[in-house]
């Protein structure tokens, strides 16, 4: 209980005080207190920034579901405009490395036994890259909403006054596979057109690597995905922004042909540990109603109750993954 209150205080008081209290907190988190909720890291989507009101409303719901949850919003820059701009511009190898370094240097996150993770849209595949490449501290449950795990075949249209988006998409006048574009335009790094599969394998600066699609597989990526307790993949039923929407479930969509993950070679040969995770009941395919990122509060509440919170809840989740149990003691 005391730890909860302490964490709550830290959360509202801001990061300066957090640093000052880092010593005592580290001890507290190491005590095997089953009631202490694991910290939660959230990675926002394209065009958003880490301080956005809607994002914080979600974080507040997670905190309300499990009081005392420390919520950390991943950012590429403390300046919100530059953070937003980094959702379009940048090299994802460097962006993921920065998230890893920031989390590893955070006084509370770094000393937590594990963390939970919530990724919105492209933030979902970036958090998966955190798990595969770093995972220090390790992620227990990763929940992604409308993420492009198997890439996109089409770039989104920018709003008429969305100048950052327009500037970014202007880069595409060049070749999407060029190293110029691959090192600068974020969505190009998860562009994956099955019709141009060889170029993708040769040139993708991000997705071909984290999906372990190249001939030489990265064993650590696979081992880290297998270590997850849950990978929860939400697909928006009416998603018109992400093409194809089935990418949220790792499905291969080639023209009109849709191959579910369980029928794909990446699953049968288990390039990424997804089959192993599935066999222990940790791979969850879920749908959310509505268009891209039309998040419903009730669904968020249920998801947070099911997958986040104290360590003991997580253990329950693995042995009986299907039903949503809203334990009264912990809410
Ligand atoms: C992205 O950054 C990494 C690390 O700095 C670098 O090795 C890589 O070449 C860059 N990617 C491209 C396509 O330039
Ligand atoms: C997609 O389909 C095309 C033509 O039907 C084929 O040439 C290509 O190899 C397929 N790509 C993948 C990744 O299966
Ligand atoms: C979600 O949970 C919060 C508190 O945890 C509660 O106030 C709110 O009414 C819930 N919303 C829905 C739609 O269930």
The gap from C-alpha 64 to its chain's centroid, in whole angstroms, comes to 21
User: 3-state DSSP: the chain helix, strand, coil percent, rounded to 5?
Assistant: 45, 15, 40
Q: State pLDDT tens for residues 63-92.
A: 999 999 999 999 999 999 999 999 999 999
292 is catalytic: yes
Ligand 3 geometric centre to CA of 123 (Å): 24
- CATH number at 61 reads 3.40.50.1820
297 C-beta closer than 6 A to ligand 3: yes
DSSP H or E run through 95: helix 92-105
pLDDT along the chain (331 residues), means of 10: 32 32 42 79 97 97 98 98 97 98 97 97 98 98 98 92 93 92 97 97 98 98 98 97 97 96 98 98 98 96 97 52 38 31
Ligand 1 atom nearest 205 alpha carbon: 13
> Which tokens in the block code for residue 216?
């030489």
Q: What is the pLDDT of residue 3?
A: 33
113 C-beta closer than 6 A to ligand 2: no
Q: What is the pLDDT of residue 146?
A: 98
**Atom 12 in ligand 3: residue holding the nearest Cα:** 298
Examine residue 324 and state whether it is found in any structural domain, yes or no: no
183 is catalytic: no
Cβ proximity of 245 and 300 under 8 Å: no
Select from 131, 114, 28 the least CA-distant residue to 315.
Answer: 114
Which domain, by its residues, includes 151? 2-319
> Distance (Å, rounded) from C-alpha 273 to C-alpha 278?
9
Q: Is 236 helix (H, G, I), strand (E, B) or coil?
A: strand
> Which tokens in the block code for residue 320?
């009986």
> Distance (Å, rounded) from C-alpha 84 to C-alpha 238?
25
121 is catalytic: yes
Cβ proximity of 63 and 38 under 8 Å: no
Q: What is the pLDDT of residue 33?
A: 54
Q: Relative to the alpha carbon of 302, which ligand is closest?
A: 3
Residue 288, beta-bridge partner list: 236
Contacts of 3 (CB under 8 A, 6+ apart): 28, 29, 31, 33, 35, 36, 68
Cβ proximity of 83 and 76 under 8 Å: yes
Examine residue 325 and state whether it is found in any structural domain, yes or no: no
197 C-beta closer than 6 A to ligand 2: yes
DSSP H or E run through 131: helix 122-133
Is 239 exposed, middle or buried (CB count within 10 Å of its CB: 0-12, 13-18, 19+)? buried
Examine residue 65 and state whether it is found in any structural domain, yes or no: yes
Ligand 3 geometric centre to CA of 10 (Å): 23
Q: Relative to the alpha carbon of 58, which ligand is closest?
A: 3
Q: What is the pLDDT of residue 314?
A: 46
| Structure letter (DSSP) for residue 191 | B
**Atom 12 in ligand 2: residue holding the nearest Cα:** 194
> Distance (Å, rounded) from C-alpha 42 to C-alpha 117?
6
Ligand 1 geometric centre to CA of 102 (Å): 19
Ligand 1 geometric centre to CA of 93 (Å): 6
Q: What is the pLDDT of residue 190?
A: 98
**Atom 3 in ligand 1: residue holding the nearest Cα:** 93
Examine residue 28 and state whether it is found in any structural domain, yes or no: yes
Residue 257, beta-bridge partner list: 254
Q: What is the pLDDT of residue 328?
A: 36
Examine residue 190 and state whether it is found in any structural domain, yes or no: yes
> Which tokens in the block code for residue 160?
């008429």
Examine residue 331 and state whether it is found in any structural domain, yes or no: no
Residue appearing with tokens 């730890």:
3
Examine residue 111 and state whether it is found in any structural domain, yes or no: yes
Cβ proximity of 120 and 145 under 8 Å: yes
Considering the candidates 48, 116, 239, 270, report the single residue annotated as catalytic. 239
> Which tokens in the block code for residue 41?
């890291």
Considering the candidates 66, 106, 116, 121, report the single residue annotated as catalytic. 121
Count of the separate structural domains present in the chain: 1
Examine residue 138 and state whether it is found in any structural domain, yes or no: yes
């Amino acid at each position: 209980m005391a730890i909860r209150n302490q964490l709550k205080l830290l959360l509202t008081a801001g990061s300066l005080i957090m640093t000052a209290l880092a010593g005592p907190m580290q001890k507290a988190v190491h005590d095997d207190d089953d009631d202490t909720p694991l910290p939660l890291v959230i990675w926002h989507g394209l065009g958003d920034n880490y301080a956005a009101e809607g994002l914080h409303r979600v974080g507040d719901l997670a905190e309300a579901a499990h009081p005392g949850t420390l919520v950390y919003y991943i950012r590429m820059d403390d300046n919100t405009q530059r953070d937003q701009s980094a959702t379009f511009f940048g090299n994802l190898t460097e962006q993921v490395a920065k998230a890893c370094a920031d989390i590893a240097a955070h006084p509370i996150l770094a000393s937590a036994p594990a963390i939970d993770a919530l990724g919105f849209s492209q933030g979902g595949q970036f958090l998966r890259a955190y798990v595969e490449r770093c995972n220090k501290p390790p992620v227990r449950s990763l929940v992604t909403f409308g993420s492009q795990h198997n890439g996109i075949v089409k770039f989104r249209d920018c709003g008429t006054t969305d100048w950052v988006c327009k500037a970014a998409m202007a880069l595409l006048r060049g070749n999407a596979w060029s190293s110029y574009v691959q090192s600068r335009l974020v969505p190009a790094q998860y562009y994956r057109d099955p019709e141009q599969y060889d170029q993708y394998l040769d040139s993708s600066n991000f997705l071909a690597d984290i999906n372990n699609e190249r001939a030489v597989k990265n064993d650590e990526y696979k081992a880290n995905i297998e270590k997850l307790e849950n990978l929860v993949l939400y697909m928006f039923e009416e998603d018109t922004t992400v093409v194809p929407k089935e990418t949220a479930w790792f499905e291969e969509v080639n023209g009109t042909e849709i191959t579910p993950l369980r029928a794909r070679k990446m699953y049968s040969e288990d390039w990424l540990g997804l089959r192993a995770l599935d066999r222990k009941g940790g791979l969850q395919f879920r749908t959310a109603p509505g268009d891209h990122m039309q998040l419903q509060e009730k669904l968020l509440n249920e998801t947070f109750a099911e997958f986040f919170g104290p360590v003991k809840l997580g253990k329950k989740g693995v042995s009986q993954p299907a039903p949503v149990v809203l334990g009264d003691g912990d809410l």
